[in-house]
Amino acid sequence: MMINKRMYRELNRGMGILFFIVAVIVTPFACNQGGGNLFGENILPSFRANLSDDELYLYNLMMNYRHQNGLASIPVSSNLSCVARIHARDLELHPPAKPCSMHSWSRYGSWKPFCDTGGGSGKFMWSKPAELTGYSGKGYEIAAWTSDRIDPGTALSLWIGSSAHNAVIINAGTWNRSRWNAVGLAISDHYALVWFGTEPDIVSKSPYY
């Protein structure tokens, strides 16, 4: 079939539209110290750690639970919260299939993708904050999912009911020598994520503002 100039222009236009659609799906998400574009919103640096009502409620529930166990509150980290929000969006758009756990990251982003199956794959999770943000330390994530819209109380109950997740929250077991100095939170439609770090975040702040 011969392609004339008009057909060529239409074909190029169609390819441009297709490229735009694909670009929207795989647009890299990035956290940076100077603020920037996060999920289509221009967010000022000083407000990047702001928590949604649900995220703030989850933070309060979790800190109250730590207080009940004789532990101090953890400062909210802008960087770890940014990582949590990026991952929550990635999970919503590209939920992992077995054997990959919820700690996995898809190939649809500017990050290094990996399938978390436990064991040695944890190192790829630990490095995500440094990969995506200015946070210098390792990050340790707990995640919860529900088929209906998740709420803070359900998320915390699921974690408390899991000895491995509960240990992370209250620094028990293998985590008893760790001291959390930064925490980031995100709640999306079906996922709740919390990232813990031992290194203080230079842009950490109190959520009470």
| pLDDT value for 37 | 31
Q: How far is CA 168 from the centre of its chain?
A: 17
Structural domain containing residue 61: 37-197
User: What is the token pair recorded at 144?
Assistant: 């919860």
| pLDDT value for 118 | 84
Neighbours of 13 (CB within 10 A): 10
SS3 of the chain: CCCCHHHHHHHHHHHHHHHHHHHHHHCCCCCCCCCEEECCEEECHHHCCCCCHHHHHHHHHHHHHHHHCCCCCCCECHHHHHHHHHHHHHHHHCCCCCCCCCCCECCCCCCCCECCCCHHHHHHHHCHHHHHCCCCCCCEEEEEECCCCCCHHHHHHHHHCCHHHHHHHCCCHHHCCCCCCEEEEEECCCEEEEEEECCCCCCCECCCC
| pLDDT value for 202 | 79
The answer to whether the beta carbons of residues 150 and 189 sit under 8 Å apart is yes
Confidence of residue 49 (pLDDT cuts 50, 70, 90): low
- The rounded distance, in Å, linking the Cα atoms of 149 and 63 is 23
What is the average pLDDT across 164-174?
97
- In this structure, is residue 27 part of a structural domain? no
What is the average pLDDT across 183-188?
97
| pLDDT value for 42 | 32
| pLDDT value for 50 | 80
The letter for the amino acid at 187 is I
pLDDT above 70 for 77:
yes
User: What digits encode the pLDDT tens for the residues 110-148?
Assistant: 899 999 998 777 888 999 999 999 999 999 999 999 999
| pLDDT value for 203 | 66
- The rounded distance, in Å, linking the Cα atoms of 157 and 104 is 22
- In this structure, is residue 26 part of a structural domain? no
User: What digits encode the pLDDT tens for the residues 190-205?
Assistant: 999 999 999 999 765 5
Specify the CATH number for the domain of residue 122: 3.40.33.10
Min mean pLDDT across 25-29, 77-81, 167-171 is at: 25-29
Give the chain's mean pLDDT: 81
- pLDDT, greater one: 12 or 126: 126
- In this structure, is residue 23 part of a structural domain? no
What is the average pLDDT across 162-183?
97
- In this structure, is residue 145 part of a structural domain? yes
The letter for the amino acid at 52 is S
Instruction: Burial-class residue 155 by CB neighbours within 10 Å (0-12, 13-18, 19+).
Output: buried
- In this structure, is residue 159 part of a structural domain? yes
| pLDDT value for 119 | 78
User: What is the token pair recorded at 24?
Assistant: 């929207």
User: What digits encode the pLDDT tens for the residues 23-48?
Assistant: 334 434 555 443 333 333 333 333 34
- In this structure, is residue 152 part of a structural domain? yes
- In this structure, is residue 209 part of a structural domain? no
> With a threshold of 0.85, does the pTM exceed it?
no
User: What is the token pair recorded at 143?
Assistant: 């995640």
- In this structure, is residue 105 part of a structural domain? yes
- Give me the number of domains the chain comprises: 1
